[in-house]
């Protein structure tokens, strides 16, 4: 596994910076050209990051219940997001690199979709013995953003907020032992690091809106740089 860093540009603005060799390759099918049936049926043809091993693709892999009508309505909207075109490239980059710098315009779907793909990646990691399944942490600079995005993603994954998807802000922890994806303020992740210096609870840590360069985010960057030296398995986005 490589420990090198990689930058991935997503969204309309990335096309101008793409390598010229791309023009000679056949155009890949866009995710918004693929139906739900195609998506689920083709999930197992490549490396199984989607963890969709169920015989019936209408069963939610997190709850073992049938997907709701709302899930498929939201799925139609999700696959129209600009970031969906880059899912395969992102997953390959995540697999090969320890640190990924993701650049995309506002509204491209970075905050809601990338963490879900990181959950798929985390679920594909084998757990042996009495090891605990590690989750995904996504920091937000503001409390309201952490709460609202967590609710949106819980709806998209068709789960109950506070179970598989949760959030943690000052004076409020809406998560559980089942939580795989946790949105939190950068200050809350710093607080967790005080009792868990190597962030052993997480396989992926995403610093959203890192360009805002808040004090807490800058401290987290320095902290994660040191953690990465001791945990080659930790993915930082």
List the chain pLDDT tens, one digit each, 237 residues: 455 666 777 766 554 444 444 444 444 444 334 344 444 444 444 455 544 444 457 899 999 999 999 999 999 999 999 999 999 999 999 999 999 999 988 889 999 999 999 999 999 998 887 788 899 999 999 999 999 999 999 999 999 999 999 999 999 999 999 999 999 999 999 999 999 999 999 999 999 998 888 898 999 999 999 999 999 999 999
Which among 140, 220, 218 is positioned nearest to 182, based on CA atoms?
Answer: 140
- Alpha helices in the chain, H assignment, sequence order: 36-41, 69-78, 87-96, 110-123, 143-157, 186-195, 215-230
Q: Please spell the DSSP secondary structure of 101-125, one letter per residue.
A: EEEE-TTSSHHHHHHHHHHHHHHTS
- Superfamily classification of domain 5-236: P-loop containing nucleotide triphosphate hydrolases (3.40.50.300)
As a whole number of angstroms, the distance between CA 77 and CA 91 comes to 21
Tell me the domain boundaries of the chain: 5-236
Q: Give the Cβ contact number of residue 115 at 10 Å.
A: 24
Look-up: residue for tokens 């015989």?
55
Residue the block writes with tokens 């990691």:
125
CA distance 114 to 222: 22
H or E element: which one contains 100?
strand 99-104
Phi-psi region of 107 (alpha: psi -120 to 50; beta: other; left: phi over 0): left
Return the pLDDT at 29: 40
Task: Name the pTM for this structure.
Answer: 0.79
Q: Which residue has the tokens 């155009």?
A: 27
Distance CA 25, CA 41 (A): 25
Neighbours of 189 (CB within 10 A): 26
List beta partners, residue 184. 139, 168
Query: How does DSSP classify residue 66?
Result: B
Q: Which of 83, 106, 89, 117 is closest to 10 using CA atoms?
A: 83
For residue 49, the SS3 value is: coil
- Under DSSP, is residue 200 helix (H, G, I), strand (E, B) or coil? coil
Task: Please state the φ and ψ torsions of residue 15, each to the nearest 5 degrees.
Answer: -65, -35
Integer Cα distance of 113 and 31 in angstroms: 13
């Amino acid at each position: 596994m490589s420990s090198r860093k990689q930058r991935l540009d997503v969204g309309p603005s990335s096309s101008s910076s793409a390598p010229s060799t791309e023009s000679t390759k056949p155009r890949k099918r866009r995710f918004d050209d693929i139906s739900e049936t195609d998506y689920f049926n083709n999930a197992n043809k490549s490396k199984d990051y989607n963890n969709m091993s169920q015989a019936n693709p209408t069963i939610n892999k997190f709850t073992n219940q049938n997907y709701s009508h709302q899930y498929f309505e939201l799925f139609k909207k999700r696959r129209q997001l600009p970031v969906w075109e880059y899912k395969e490239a992102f997953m390959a980059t995540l697999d090969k690199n320890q640190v990924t710098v993701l650049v995309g315009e506002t509204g491209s779907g970075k905050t809601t979709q990338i963490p879900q793909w990181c959950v798929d990646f985390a679920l594909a990691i084998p757990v042996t013995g009495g090891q605990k399944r590690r989750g995904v942490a996504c920091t937000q600079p503001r409390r309201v953003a952490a709460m609202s995005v967590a609710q949106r993603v819980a709806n998209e994954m068709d789960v109950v907020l506070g179970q598989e998807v949760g959030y943690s802000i000052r004076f409020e922890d809406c998560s559980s032992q089942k939580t795989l994806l946790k949105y939190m303020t950068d200050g809350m992740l710093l607080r967790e690091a005080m009792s868990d210096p190597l962030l052993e609870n997480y396989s992926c840590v995403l610093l959203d809106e890192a360009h805002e360069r808040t004090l807490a985010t800058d401290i987290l960057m320095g902290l994660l740089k040191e953690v990465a030296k001791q945990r080659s398995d930790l993915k930082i986005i």
